[in-house]
Amino acid sequence: MASAPSLEWKSLNLSDPVLKTIEEHFKFKCMTPIQVESIKNFLEKKKDVAAEAVTGSGKTLAFLVPMLELILKRSDPLKKHEVGGLIISPTRELATQTSHVLSEFLNNIEGITQMLTLGGNPIETDVKTFNKNGANIIVATPGRLEDLLTRKIPNFHLHKSLKSLEMLILDEADKLLELGFEKSINTVLQYLPTQRRTGLFSATQTKQVALLVKAGLRNPIMVIVKEKHCLNPKSNQVESISTPLALQNYYTICEADKKLAFLVTFLKKNGLNSKYMLFLSTCACVEYFSIILKNLIPEINLFSLHGKMNNKRYKIFELFYKAEKGILLCTDVMARGVDIPEVNWVIQYDPPSNASSFVHRAGRTARVGKNGSSLVILMPNEDAYVHFIYSNQKVILELIPELEINNLDQVVAKVRKCQLKDRTVFDKANKAFVSYIQAYSKHECHLLLRIKDLEFGKLATSFGLLRLPKMPELKNKVINNFIPVEIDFNSIKYQNNEREESRQKKLKNYLETGIWPGQIKNKKGLKQTVAWADAKQKKLEKREKRKKKKELRKQMELEGKAKEKKKREQTFSEAELNDLAKDIALMKKLKSKKISKEQFDMEFGEV
């Protein structure tokens, strides 16, 4: 456990351009504990570092500063195409942000260049950029880096450029492993020189991270920096917690049908001049709530971002980064490492799918000593989550003062009006609701947050649904507290003329023939259209079935090989059997005194 004193940056023997950038651009006079411990071990003790610190504690400077120092103080300066520093980040947003921070330093440093390489962009662009400009520091996502190293590209040899590597950084290492990048990381490690400094940074340590530490680091120093909370309300003792001291964590208990109305009331009362991040459970929820929230609060500056947006994510991230006020609706793709200035509130519309994500979500505010607040909206069946998150993650939640919600009917009416006006919104509403229920059923805390405890009728009201969608989770359920809209749903039109024209043609065909275009006839007759939720469920079941078959086949192959090996070990060759028969015959002759002991020894081979 590291507990470093406050030290000023100028107390270190840093290069002038590095120190100048810290003082002028970042305006940090003193180092954070994680920065003190990491830099000291990297530079003074020349050790590998496995660092764990609360989110928002300044980990980016903790590895960028020593990396730049090692490159600047080389006896032989790096050539154009020699890579001295490599930073691997789990997401495009985090990699982009790290690249931005590095750019601030390189603006004051001559002769050192960097390249940002991300999945989703044409690999040819990266190859062309590197061949033309070179790069002394590369910031990359793991999949793209693996591709650049393993793909056979004419006149491109990145692995040779990495022979001069001074430092490798694995940023948000637990997220790298959680997202399934273990294979990519192991592949990359095979191309790197063993004589290098390695840093592994994360807000949480897991068993997988511990294994990665053993595989990729040489005699590492473990640096663990926790913040202290003044008091544990149960034990009346000061304890380590997982969130910064400057972060106030709140919760509220809200009936399922009032969640959206509560959110609207909270935003209006708290002020639309603040900067918010609203975390939702699925991409479909982000798309739907972005539309209806803009209709409910037209004056709000709204942004939305999720993992399926690909290249569009960069532009939205940049816009929100630079914005002075507004709200960003997002999934957990924005929960890790991303540092956005002056976020006042982080609102978690639902508890995240795993406990560690709670800390990472909340950590998007109150970064590097600045104040901030987080709020999680819980339903009555989720009240035990308050104790769970304290026991599991050492996060103390305080109950926020109650808000008077008197706009429920008005909010639901406005949301339904949006759907009646445009069938696109109607489609998105149903998809968001289905995705929410399915995500809830896969929650890490499923023993605590049980799908059978959900009040489906109230949830559907909160989503402003016009009717309940067909889905397995609602089959044979008695749904209370939901009043569907009595209309002909075929009358809801798309505002997009092309989509509406196509739908009308299909509808006309259906009314005339009873068959919706796209339905397929099989031996039994007409194949019925399958509900979206059912189709997805069947797809997941098929995938799981294939996976089990594959595992069973693999197990059978291993068992077969083991049996074959055992059989081979137990089988004698023909020559061995002949020798054995001769030995037995000799022993019988000796016993019946047909040969002497001397003759037996001679033929048996003991003489």
DSSP tag of 496: S
| Residue 75 near residue 156, CB atoms below 8 Å | no
- 531, pLDDT greater than 50: yes
Q: Residues 206-230, buried b or exposed e (16+ Cβ, 10 A)?
A: eeebeebbeebbeebbbbbbbbebe
Asked, for residue 534, whether it belongs to a domain, the answer is no
Of 195, 225, 255, the one marking the end of a domain is 225
Q: Which residues contact 497 (CB under 8 A, 6 or more apart)?
A: none
Q: Are residues 429 and 463 in the same domain?
A: yes
Half-sphere exposure of 2 (CA within 13 A, CB side): 24
pLDDT, position 353? 85
Write the pLDDT tens digit of every residue in 129-183.
999 999 999 999 999 999 999 998 999 999 999 999 999 999 988 888 877 888 9
pLDDT, position 230? 47
Q: Residues 259-275, buried b or exposed e (16+ Cβ, 10 A)?
A: bbbbbbbbbeebeeebb
Nearest to 116 by CA among 124, 135, 3: 135
DSSP tag of 276: E
Rounded to 5°, angle at Cα 64 from 62 and 223:
25
Total tally of structural domains belonging to the chain: 3
Q: Which residues contact 49 (CB under 8 A, 6 or more apart)?
A: 37, 38, 41, 42, 198, 199, 200, 220, 221, 223
Q: Are residues 198 and 285 in the same domain?
A: no
Q: Are residues 464 and 362 in the same domain?
A: no
Q: Are residues 156 and 128 in the same domain?
A: yes
Q: What is the DSSP string of 168-198?
A: EEEETHHHHHHTT-HHHHHHHHHTS-SSSEE
pLDDT confidence tier of residue 241, bands split at 50, 70 and 90: low
DSSP tag of 334: G
Map tokens 């048996």 to a residue. 604
pLDDT, position 601? 73
Write the pLDDT tens digit of every residue in 82-120.
999 999 999 888 899 899 999 999 999 999 999 999 987
Asked, for residue 464, whether it belongs to a domain, the answer is yes
Q: Are residues 22 and 114 in the same domain?
A: yes
Between residues 26 and 325, which one has the greater pLDDT? 325
pLDDT, position 570? 56
pLDDT, position 577? 66
Kindly state the average pLDDT of the residues 451-462.
Answer: 94
pLDDT confidence tier of residue 520, bands split at 50, 70 and 90: low
Nearest to 92 by CA among 111, 110, 118: 118
pLDDT confidence tier of residue 544, bands split at 50, 70 and 90: confident
- 231, pLDDT greater than 50: no
Q: Are residues 402 and 431 in the same domain?
A: no
Q: Are residues 469 and 502 in the same domain?
A: yes
Q: Which residues contact 381 (CB under 8 A, 6 or more apart)?
A: 449, 450, 453, 454, 455
| Residue 51 near residue 199, CB atoms below 8 Å | yes
Write the pLDDT tens digit of every residue in 373-410.
999 999 999 999 999 998 888 889 999 998 998 899 99
Asked, for residue 548, whether it belongs to a domain, the answer is no
Range of lowest pLDDT (49-58, 231-240, 269-278) = 231-240
| Residue 248 near residue 373, CB atoms below 8 Å | yes
Q: Where in the sequence is the domain holding 459, given as residue range(s)?
A: 409-513
The C-alpha atoms of residue 36 and residue 8 are separated, in whole angstroms, by: 9
pLDDT, position 573? 60
pLDDT, position 566? 64
pLDDT confidence tier of residue 541, bands split at 50, 70 and 90: confident
Of 406, 432, 460, the one marking the end of a domain is 406
pLDDT, position 364? 80
Asked, for residue 579, whether it belongs to a domain, the answer is no
Q: Which residues are bridge partners to 198 per DSSP? A: 168
Between residues 211 and 270, which one has the greater pLDDT? 270
Kindly state the average pLDDT of the residues 332-340.
Answer: 74
Half-sphere exposure of 356 (CA within 13 A, CB side): 12
Between residues 162 and 211, which one has the greater pLDDT? 162
Asked, for residue 603, whether it belongs to a domain, the answer is no
How buried is residue 143: exposed, middle or buried, by Cβ count under 10 Å (0-12/13-18/19+)?
middle
Q: Which residues contact 568 (CB under 8 A, 6 or more apart)?
A: none
Q: For all residues of the chain together, what is the average pLDDT? A: 86
Q: Which residues are bridge partners to 224 per DSSP? A: 52
Q: Are residues 397 and 417 in the same domain?
A: no
Range of lowest pLDDT (270-274, 472-476, 512-516) = 512-516
Q: Are residues 190 and 301 in the same domain?
A: no
CA separation, residue 19 to residues 4, 25, 46, 514 (Å): 20, 10, 20, 75
Asked, for residue 561, whether it belongs to a domain, the answer is no
pLDDT, position 465? 97
The C-alpha atoms of residue 219 and residue 536 are separated, in whole angstroms, by: 47
| Residue 120 near residue 310, CB atoms below 8 Å | yes
Asked, for residue 265, whether it belongs to a domain, the answer is yes
Nearest to 53 by CA among 243, 225, 241: 225
pLDDT, position 3? 46
Q: Are residues 77 and 19 in the same domain?
A: yes
Asked, for residue 541, whether it belongs to a domain, the answer is no
Nearest to 483 by CA among 430, 422, 409: 409
Q: Which residues contact 278 (CB under 8 A, 6 or more apart)?
A: 263, 289, 327, 328, 329, 330, 347, 349
Q: Are residues 399 and 469 in the same domain?
A: no
Question: What CATH number did the domain enclosing 131 receive?
Answer: 3.40.50.300
What pTM did the predictor assign?
A: 0.66
Amino acid at 199: G
Q: Are residues 431 and 394 in the same domain?
A: no
- 346, pLDDT greater than 90: yes
Of 225, 260, 280, the one marking the end of a domain is 225
With residue 296 as reference, give the H or E element that holds it. helix 283-296
